[in-house]
Structure formats: C-alpha cells, structure tokens
Structure 1
C-alpha cells in the first residue's frame, strides 16, 4: 500500500472515530433547543401551580402539557417558537405567589403581572432574567432584594405594593432604565443621588411613600424626564427656580403634599407643552409668577394650601391668563391668602373645566355671574371667603354640577329656585351666610342629593316636605340655626340619614 493510500485509510478511521462525537454535539444542539422550550413549559407549569384565580373560568386553563406554551394565555414566544419572551398576566384576578421557576425563563423581555393579588416576595431568581426590559408588578408584592443585575431593564413598575426600606442606590447602575414607578408604598429614607446617573429616565414616580430629605440636585439634571412625581412624602427644601429650563420635556410636575418652601418656579410656566402642575399642600410663598398664558395644553393647575398671595389690583390676573389653557380640567387655588374680587373673565376658562377650588382665601365682592358659562363644572367650591352679594341665578345653568359649596361667606338674598334644576347635585353647602327667605320647594327635584347643609343663615318658613322625601339623602341634613317655623316634620323616607339637625329654629 502506497503512502497516499495509508494516509487515506488513517483519515477515514479518524472520521469514523470522530463521527459519534460530532453526532453527540449535534444532538446536544438539537436537544438544547427542545430543552429550552421544554424548560420554559415546565417553568410556566410550576408558576401556574402557585397561582389561583377567583374567576369561574380559570384564565390559565390553556396552560397544560399537551400544547405549546406559545399558544397559552398571556404567553409570547419568539418568531421560531423556541423561547418564551413575554408574559402578560395583568388583571387576571390571580392570587398566590411567584414560583422561583420564573428565573428559568431566561429569554424573557417583558413580565407584566400588575393588577392582581399576589403575595410574598419576588423570588431572588428573577435576577437571572438578564434580558428583561419591562417589569410591571404594580398592586402586588415586595421588591426583590437585588434587582441591579437586570442590566437591560427599561421599565420598573412596582407601584401599589408593600415596599419598605430605602430605594436601592444600585438602581443607578441600570443605565437602560427609562421608567421608575414606586408610587403608593412605604419606602423610607432619601432619594439616592445615584438615580442622577440614569440619563435616559423619562418617568420618576415616587408618590405616596415616606421619603424624607431634599431632592438631590442631580435629579433636576435629568433632562429626559417627562413625568416627575414626588407627591405625598416628607420632602423639603426649595424647588429650583430654573427647574423648567433644566427639565424642558416635562409634561407632569407633581410635588403635592410635602414641605417644600420658597416660591413657585416661574420657569414651569415656560414649558409650553406641560399638562400637569401640582404643588398643593406645601409651604410655598409669594405670588403666582407670570406666564400662565403660555400653557395651551395645561389640564391641571393645583397650588392649593400654600401661602400664596395676590399683590396689587392686578394680583388675580393669572386667572385671566389661564383662559388660554383651553384643555384645563382642574383648577385649585384654595387655602391660600389670595384677595380681591374674582374677575368676570373666570367665565372664559375652558369649557372642559370640571373642578374649581377657590375656597379658604380672602376673596371679596360678588360671585361673577359668568361662572354660569363653565358648563363642564362638576364641582364649585368658593367657601370660607368674604364673598357678598346674592347667589347668581346663572349657577342654575351648571347642569353637570355635583358639588356646590358657598359656605362661610357673607352671601345675602334668597336661595334661587333655579338651583333645583341641578339634577346631578349630590352635595350642597350654603351654611354660615346671611341667606333669607324660604327653602325652595324645587330642591325636591334633587333626587341624587346625599348632603345638604343650610345651617347658620336667616331662612324662614316651614321645611318643605319635598326635601324630606329625597331618596338618596343619607349623609347630612342640617337646617339648624335659622328662623324656620312650624311643627317638627316627620322625616319621611330619611331613615338612613347619618345626621339630621333641625335645632335652634322657631
């Protein structure tokens, strides 16, 4: 046998020896694909075993060994059907807890479990989901011990849980984060400076926790922020006057219910696209800065319960400026030290305006009749000012009105009969004024009324039987401290009213 033939034989033998090894690796490759989807199936079956549903038809009934997970409720697979990439079980009424097997779904990009009733901690194995980009577990459970290993995470939504302790500073290491929502929990401590490294952050929602301290200046440098919501904590310090310049993309600015001091930043009024400005219940001082006329898309402006004053004869011009905000739905300036006559231009505010809070200030003069043009109003509160004059009949045009409070003023004259046309009214408080005359019989039309307080006026005559038969009246009927006369009436259908007071009449 020649040299070439010997080499050929040796080569052939080598091929025969290596072939089983190649087949072995080939089979491993094939079985790894099968094993991956099989592992995903087993992980999901294990997950199902720890979950329960209150629904008559179990929403996870399709999860069984006889079909591909890619066909199961809430499961999303890749294009080849080889791995589970998404799991959306939101709002299915599930209870129970998460199985540690969730960590075996290693190709998962999105995990949506919000709006269920899950309990217990998130398994540590969730840290194995290195491809996870969206984690939404609002209204469920506790925060994982270590979440910073999820390097691709873009959205972290753990609102309405029972989270406690400090916000992990390690979140600042997840540079891909765009949304952080930890609202309505029990988080304590301060806002970590490390969050200032999240330069792509769009949403930071830490509302309704127990956070303390000042807002780190680096937070105001996150120029990508669209939603900055820190309401309902114990944060303090001054809000930077240039916050609107540093956060030019802001659509929502919510700093309510804290201890912030200083003045309202005028730069917020330069954000022409902003939708929501909320700074109520702080310790802010000074006047309302100019520029409110620049906000055509503004829907909510809430600066109630601060120490805001109006200065000079044009101190209430900001109300007129808001007429340019044609989408305004909510305006609250109550609980301040604003004074002067409410301008007639208030009637030019948005027809979409639903709630108008102006109580507990120092307004004087009469109620502008133009308020009757605000046809979308469901709530009007002008209580506890120094308003005088009569109740304008135009208020009877507010057909959507559900709550009317004019208490604690110096309003005189009679109660207009036309208020009986407000058929959607469920609360009326005209107490502590100087109203005279009788209680309108037209109030018998207010079939949805839950609360009526006409006390501490100078009303006379008898109590109309019509209001004693109002079917919905269940909270308060207070007619005390007037000059009403006649026998104490039978309360008719008012057997369920929590408080009835006819005292101190004639």
Structure 2
C-alpha cells in the first residue's frame, strides 16, 4: 500500500506540474516538493538492504561463544550486521556475509558450528587469537565458497575435519586457494582420500606447520593442485620418507618439512623444481643441489647431516639465507667459492666439524649482515677483507682455534655496523693489550654484545673497553687476570 500510495503521489505531482498552477511556483520550490515526496521511497529502499537474517543469526551465535581480552566485538543487534567490525557483505539484494576478518583481537572461546551456515563466506581470518577446541565437523565441505582460511596462531586441537571421498566416486571442487592452520595443537593424519584436498584444484598455499600431525607427508595434493606455490609441513610428527610426488608441484617456491621424523634421501625430482626459492628439509645435502638456481633460502639445520658442503651449491647465486648449523658436516671450506653468492645476507655454518683456515672467500659476499662459524675446528686469523662487509652486524666464531687476538680486534674495529661480536674460546693463552690507545677513539661505535671469555687470556682488564659506548653485555669470564 505504501508503494502504491507513493506511486500515486508521484503521478499526481507530474500531472500537477504540467498544468498551470493557481499561484506561480519558483523552480526551487518545485524541486523541493519533488525531493520531499520521493524521500520516503528512498529510505524504504535503503531499509531493505539489511544483511541476510540467517547470516545475522549465525554471526550472533559465533559472537556468543567468544570473548575478547582487548575490547568486546560490540556487534549490536540493532545495527545492520554488514556494518559490524570485521564483517564484509556482497552487493546482492540479500546482502550475504562474504568475509570475517578478526585477527589480533584477543579472542578466546571456540569456533561455533554456526559459522558453517554462512554459505557465501569466501574469507575466514581468525589468526593470532586465543581460540581453542576442535574445529567443527564438516567445516570445509559446508563452506564450499571459501577461498581463504587463516586460523593460524591459536590453540585449536583435535583432528582436521577433512571429509573422506564419497562412496559413489563423485567429485566435488572447492575454490579455496589458501589454507593456514599453522601454530595450533592439531593432530592426526592428513589422509590421501580427503574430498576437500582432492577437490582443491586452485590451492596455492598450504601451511600446517607447528602442530602435531602424524603419518606421511600429504604429497597427493601435488596431483590435483597444479598451482601450488607453498607447502609447509615443518615442526610436526610426520614420519617416513620424503615422497617423490612433491616433485610434481612444478610451481613450488617454498617447501618446508624440517623438524619431523622423516628419513631417507631428498628425492632427485625436487631438484628439477626451477621456481623453488626456499627449501627446508631433513637429509644429507645432495651433490647436485646447484640445479636449484632460483633457491633463495636453504635451511637444513639440525638434521644430523654428514659429508661436506657440495661445491655445486655455489651455483645457487640467488641465495639470501644459508643455514647448515648443528649437523655433522666436515671437511675444509677453502675450496668452496663463496664469491658467487653475492646476494647472501645470512650465513650460519655453526656447530659442525669444519677444519682448516677460516675461509677468506666468505668476506667477498658483500651483502652479508650475519656470519656464524661458532663450534667448529677452524684455524688461522681474521682476514682484513672483513672490512669490506659494510653491512655486517653479527659475527660469531667462538669455540674454534683462531689466533692473533690483537690483529682481530684491530681489523674488526672498522666494522661500523657490528652490534654483536662473539669470539670466545679462541686465542688461547695470548696476551691482550690493555693500552687505552690500542683502539681508535671511534672504535666499535654500535657494538652491544662483546664476548671474549673462556680463552685463558692474559693481562689486565683492557682500558679500551671504555670506548665502547653502546656496549650492553660483556663476557670476560674464564680468563687469566682479565
């Protein structure tokens, strides 16, 4: 009736406007009457744009099961839920909820099953909160429009609710492209007959690191998801061998599976992944690792690896980070051509069994900001070439057999950005100059941590230490009269 009345009034106004009025009306008054008469119809249209009632009810159930240590969500039932914090709706006439984004909100409680009624939901981000409990059964198959799921850095527990394949052999396809469940308390196996994983043909990133998953590495997704760019299974309890099928993820740039219970060799197919930039796996370092020319980060630390550093690794000239610490690697480093690694920023070869002189070629890597050779059996002296590393801020070569502490300090004082210098357990039985003029007035301008303990050094406590104005931590322990 209201609509009909408005239509009648509008038609009457048009009729009146085409006839000569009894009294003259200005054009401004005419426009005013039009606006006044059509204003109620405008508000009627807007009032019909409230979010879908079922979606609104589902959100209210969700909010009733969470609380915030920061501030309450303040989802006011008298306000359109499309205007609530963290909520996005589509432009349809029913205004369905398409996204929930509430990271870093201090939320505790659990993920209520009502969220599964949000059938148009394409993004769910509840990362970096304190949510706990199991994930609702059927979560993935119910939210079959979901494209991004990020529940990382919470305390969700239990098995991953991935439905198994249908008995009739039919297939379902899911548009999801990003799954991040890292840093939770999830457990159980990720089985190969999961309908969701098999149907996620657009999957780009899959991260389940830092949980308690068991069983085999779920490599079957490399068959159905040809766009996969990132796989992270690290810090779990996966066992068995590293599957050959991972080599089918042709577009993979990040592969991480370290800190599990995996065994065996790294499959050779992985070294044909031309776009691989980050590799974090257990196992010995293959001699042909240099085939990964796009590799930017190689992290094989704490893997009980043996042997030497492959010469071919120098061909990975895009390397930015190389971490081989805490293994049983040995041999000399003098034959390795560090000069090809001009993009290398962080190098950690600590806690191995390398012998021979400290490799001078490492100082030809002009981009280095951090170097760690601690815990080896290296000999020789610090090379003056270290002065060429203008960005060097961290240097540790403790627990080796280097000599000439006087020369080392004279050279290293020129490294202007050096903030950490750990050279303990070296220079055994040498004498340290205590002369205040031993170092330049502006020596070590940014040094905050300095350790020369455990070396049986002789002499008095050096007066030149007073020149280190930025010093915060000093270790002179286990020396002779120092």
When normalised by structure 2's length, the TM-score is: 0.78
Partner of 1:113: 126
Distance 1:228-1:42 versus aligned 2 partners, 3 A rule: same
Residue 440 of structure 1: which of 443, 447, 462 is its match?
462
Partner of 1:350: 366
Number of residue-to-residue matches in the alignment = 413
CA contact (8 A) 1:129 1:150 kept: no
Residue 222 of structure 1: which of 245, 249, 264 is its match?
249
Correspondence 1:363 to 2:378: yes
Deviations 1:367-421 (A, max 9, x none): 1122233232232111122211232412112333332222222353425545984
CA contact (8 A) 1:242 1:265 kept: no
Q: Return the alpha-carbon distance in structure 2 between the equivalents of residues 343 and 159 of structure 1.
A: 39
Deviations 1:99-141 (A, max 9, x none): 2210110011111111111121222252411111211100122
Q: Secondary structure at the match of 1:277?
A: strand
Q: Return the alpha-carbon distance in structure 2 between the equivalents of residues 357 and 174 of structure 1.
A: 45
Partner of 1:73: 85
Runs of 5+ consecutive residues of structure 1 not aligned to the other structure = 1-32, 458-481, 485-506
Q: Return the alpha-carbon distance in structure 1 between the equivalents of residues 459 and 218 of structure 2.
A: 62
Distance 1:366-1:216 versus aligned 2 partners, 3 A rule: same
Partner of 1:429: 451
Q: Secondary structure at the match of 1:124?
A: coil
Deviation at 1:242, TM superposition (A): 5.0
Q: Return the alpha-carbon distance in structure 2 between the equivalents of residues 322 and 284 of structure 1.
A: 21
Q: Return the alpha-carbon distance in structure 2 between the equivalents of residues 273 and 419 of structure 1.
A: 44
Partner of 1:331: 347
Partner of 1:396: 413
Q: Greater CA deviation, 440-449 or 73-82?
A: 440-449
Deviations 1:440-493 (A, max 9, x none): 223245566554332343xxxxxxxxxxxxxxxxxxxxxxxx135xxxxxxxxx
Q: Return the alpha-carbon distance in structure 2 between the equivalents of residues 429 and 83 of structure 1.
A: 61
CA contact (8 A) 2:50 2:82 kept: no
Deviation at 1:67, TM superposition (A): 3.2
CA contact (8 A) 1:100 1:125 kept: no
Q: Secondary structure at the match of 1:120?
A: strand
Partner of 1:307: 328
In the TM superposition, 1:273-288 aligns within 5 A as 273-288=294-309
Residue 147 of structure 2: which of 118, 133, 136 is its match?
133
In the TM superposition, 1:99-498 aligns within 5 A as 99-124=112-137, 126=139, 127-140=141-154, 141-142=156-157, 145-148=160-163, 151-169=174-192, 170=194, 172-176=197-201, 177-192=203-218, 194-200=220-226, 201-241=228-268, 243-245=270-272, 247-255=273-281, 258=282, 260=283, 262=284, 264-310=285-331, 315-318=333-336, 321-351=337-367, 353-390=368-405, 391-410=408-427, 412-414=430-432, 417=439, 421-433=443-455, 435-446=457-468, 449=471, 451-457=473-479, 482-483=480-481
CA contact (8 A) 1:419 1:443 kept: no
Deviation at 1:358, TM superposition (A): 0.8
Q: Return the alpha-carbon distance in structure 1 between the equivalents of residues 158 and 120 of structure 2.
A: 21
Q: Return the alpha-carbon distance in structure 2 between the equivalents of residues 394 and 452 of structure 1.
A: 19
Q: Return the alpha-carbon distance in structure 2 between the equivalents of residues 120 and 447 of structure 1.
A: 51
Root mean square deviation of aligned Cα: 2.7
Q: Return the alpha-carbon distance in structure 1 between the equivalents of residues 342 and 315 of structure 2.
A: 11
Distance 1:371-1:419 versus aligned 2 partners, 3 A rule: farther
Distance 1:181-1:418 versus aligned 2 partners, 3 A rule: farther
Q: Return the alpha-carbon distance in structure 2 between the equivalents of residues 124 and 242 of structure 1.
A: 36
Q: Return the alpha-carbon distance in structure 2 between the equivalents of residues 206 and 274 of structure 1.
A: 19
CA contact (8 A) 1:45 1:64 kept: no
Q: Secondary structure at the match of 2:447?
A: coil
Distance 1:387-1:357 versus aligned 2 partners, 3 A rule: same
Deviation at 1:333, TM superposition (A): 1.3
Distance 1:328-1:67 versus aligned 2 partners, 3 A rule: same
CA contact (8 A) 1:242 1:267 kept: no
When normalised by structure 1's length, the TM-score is: 0.74
Distance 1:369-1:241 versus aligned 2 partners, 3 A rule: farther
